[in-house]
Amino acid sequence: MLSARTRVTPEDFRVDEIDAFAASGEGEHLLLTIEKRGITSAEAMRRVAAWAGVAESAIGHAGLKDRHAVTRQRLSVWLPGRESPDPSALDSEALRIIEAQRHFRKLPRGALAGNRFRVVLREVAGDRIAIEERLQVVAGLGVPNYFGEQRFGRSGDNVAQALAMFAGRRVKRDERSLLLSAARSELFNRVLARRVRDGNWNAALEGDVFMLAGSHSVFGPEPLDDRIRERVATFDIDPTGPMWGRGALRTNDAALALETEAPTGHDARALRDGLERAGMKQERRALRLRATNLHWQWLQDDVLEVAFELPPGSYATSVLAELGEISDSMR
């Protein structure tokens, strides 16, 4: 295990979207690959809309990226019957266009194959051999698929705000969506924390529901046998946890008992009831996250660069947390 600092500069944390498709080459939309530095995706979209002379609703994006980082991502701009604006007119230290191609449709949310991360850790303390052994374990076994702190708001109070909303406080539509996501994420994290404590977050329990690796296809529960255990061990399938909402939990036996009991605390019932009243439906999320193409290099005696790829909807902080105590200089 180690201790270290990251994001001393935005360049210490780089994120590149992995494209899910190629541009069609023609159509009413301009598909952009942008690079931003030190600004939010929302700010980048506002600047692109102003540059193109369109409403922000004409901008499409596959996902949001960190502010305190250097990131590359795709945006689309609806420009029916119009020539593409000059890309150089948008260039600044904070934002520039890397590529622009025509495409036949607006970029939808989630239309990416994953994200590629390159994280520089500074002031690294710890035994180098032990650190590299830990990296090998993370590469081989994966990590608990927690929702990261970004999910819970800049001040970490989104769950408290969700409880206030469930108690009657009125919120805007966009805020409501964020608070519902935070509430579901909190309950999922509590179930996952229980399985981490019990030592079975990356193994099959009797009554588990599974997700096919690399997809959102869910099946089960099925009788726990050697075939299921082998598929879990080889990362063909992953055990899942609940994303809370209306309807019965899909698990049974030991997994059902754990998911019913694990979200403890005086607020657990309020979170569950609030999500059900809000109309959210029961869904599932993989309990395990595997960082692919994980590799590292020592830039200096106390500076370590770690690179890896993750599927959409997962958090680099979940991987970094398994390496030790890493402080974020930007938070």
Q: What is the pLDDT of residues 206-225, one digit of tens each?
A: 999 999 998 889 999 999 99
> How many CB atoms lie under 10 A from the CB of residue 293?
10
pLDDT for position 181: 95
The mean pLDDT value for 160-186 works out to: 93
Judge whether residue 265 has pLDDT over 80: no
**How confident is the model at residue 262, as a pLDDT?**
86
Residue given tokens 């805020």 in the structure block? 175
pLDDT of residue 263: 81
Supply the pLDDT for residue 149.
86
| pLDDT surpassing 90 at residue 330 | no
Task: For residues 127 and 45, give the distance between their C-alpha atoms in angstroms, rounded to a whole number.
Answer: 43
Structure tokens at 324: 């030790």
Residue 266 above 80 pLDDT? no
Among 301, 295, 289, 309, CA closest to 4:
301
Separate counts of helices (H) and strands (E) for the chain: 8, 16
Return all residues near 13 (Cβ < 8 A) that are at least 6 apart.
6, 7, 66, 68, 69, 70, 117, 118, 119, 120, 316
3-state SS assignment for residue 306 = strand
**The pLDDT of residue 173 is above 80:** yes
Position 199 scores a pLDDT of 95
Tokens of 148: 């990261």
Q: What is the pLDDT of residue 16?
A: 97
Strands 237-243 and 95-103: unpaired
Overall average pLDDT of the 163-185 stretch:
93
Contact 246, 280 (CB under 8 A): yes
Q: Which residue has the tokens 């108690």?
A: 167
pLDDT score at 329: 84
Nearest to 37 by CA among 102, 106, 98: 98
Residue 29 β-bridge partners: 78, 103
- Reported as a pLDDT band with limits 50, 70 and 90, residue 10 is very high
Asked if residue 31 has pLDDT above 80, the reply is yes
Q: What is the pLDDT of residue 13?
A: 96
CA–CA dist 228, 5 (Å, integer): 40
pLDDT score recorded for residue 46: 96
Q: Which residues are catalytic?
A: 66
Tell me the average pLDDT across 166-178: 91
Residue 36 and residue 70: Cα distance in Å, rounded? 6
